[in-house]
Amino acid sequence: MERGAGREGIVAILRRMAQELIHEILPVGMLQCNCSIIGDPETREAIVLDPGDEVEKILVLIAKHHLKVMAIVSTHAHIDHVGGLKKLHDATHAPVFMNEADLALYQAMEMQAQFLGVRPPQIANVDDLLREGDVVRWGGHEARVLHTPGHTPGSISLYLPEAILETEKRDGTAVKTAHEKSGAKSSPWLFAGDTLFAGSIGRTDLWGGSYPDIVRSIHTKLLALPDSTIVFPGHGPATTLAEERASNPFLVSR
C-alpha cells in the first residue's frame, strides 16, 4: 500500500482488490451437471469448470463474452462432469486439469458409460494435476484448490476468496438469492463439485467413494471457510455455507 494513501485511497485500493468476474452457469447433459464459465472482464481470460456435455452451448457462451479459455478444470472424473473435456480442449486448446487420484476413474470411461447406458465420450489428455493448495490463475484472478475426497478419491473444490458479480447469471435467481442470504455484495465463492449440495452431500456409493472421507472433507476443508461463502455445487442451485451449516441434515451435528 502506498504511503499516506488516506481514507479515500484505501477505499479505492480495497475496491480494486475485490474481484469482478463474469460467471455463467450452464447445466449440461442428462444429469444436468453445472458447468461454470468464470471470466475476467478486463483481460477476457477465463476458466471452465466441469464441461460435462453440450460443448457447443458452452462455446456459444464463451464467444458471447469474447473469452479466451486458459484452463479447463474438472472437479472430479464422473462421466457427467468430464464428458466434454476432449471436445472443449480441441476447440480451445486450453489445458485440462484434474486431481491425480481421479485419473484411474477418468481412464475407466467405458465402464462409467456402461453404468449409465450411454456411449463413452472421448478421453482428453490431462495436462496437469491439481493438488491441495495449488492456485489456478487467469486474468487478474485466482482460485485455490482444496482436495476434498469422498465423493471420489480425487474430488477437488475451488475457492475464490472474494468475488463480485459483473454480469447477470443464467442461473440468476439462485445466485441472487445466495447473495441476499449472505448479506454481502462481495463474497468468497466456492465451487464444490459433487462434495456439497444445497441441503445434501455427494453420494459415496460409487467407485472409490467414502462416506467418512466426504464428511471429513466437508468439516475440515469447506466448513473452515467463511459463512458468507457462496457455494456453487456440481448440480442444483447455489447456496451459502451459513445456510448449509445451519440446515443441511448431513452437516448439522446432533
Give the 3-state secondary structure of residue 94. coil
Toward Zn ion, which CB reaches closer, 32 or 177?
A: 32
* CA contacts within 13 A on the Cβ side of 232: 31
* Interface characters, 180-219, with Zn ion (x: CB under 5 A): --------------x-------------------------
> What cell does 83 get?
464428458
Look up residue 119 and give its three cell numbers: 456411449
Binding segment for Zn ion among 76-84, 104-112, 182-190, 209-217 (CB under 5 A)?
76-84
Nearest distance from residue 29's CB to Zn ion, in Å? 12
Sign of CA dihedral 27, 28, 34, 40: negative
**Helix 85-92, helix 55-64: angle, nearest 10:** 40
The footprint of Zn ion on this chain (CB under 5 A) covers a number of residues equal to: 2
Q: Is 221 in the site for Zn ion (CB under 5 A)?
A: no
Strand 33-39 with 20-28, pairing: antiparallel
Closest CB to Zn ion among 8 and 205?
A: 205
Where do runs of H (alpha helix) occur along the chain? 6-17, 55-64, 79-82, 85-92, 103-107, 109-116, 172-182, 211-217, 241-247
Looking at beta carbons only, is 171 or 194 nearer to Zn ion?
194
- Cell digits for 58? 458452452
Is residue 235 close enough to count as binding Zn ion by CB under 5 A? Answer: no
- In the complex with Zn ion, which residue's Cβ is closer, 45 or 194? 194
Q: Per rule CB under 5 A, is residue 171 in the interface with Zn ion? A: no
- Which residue has the closest beta carbon to Zn ion? 78
Q: Which is nearer to Zn ion, 23 or 78 (CB)?
A: 78
Q: Is 87 in the site for Zn ion (CB under 5 A)?
A: no
78 near Zn ion, judged by CB under 5 A: yes
Contacts with Zn ion, residue ranges (CB under 5 A): 78, 194
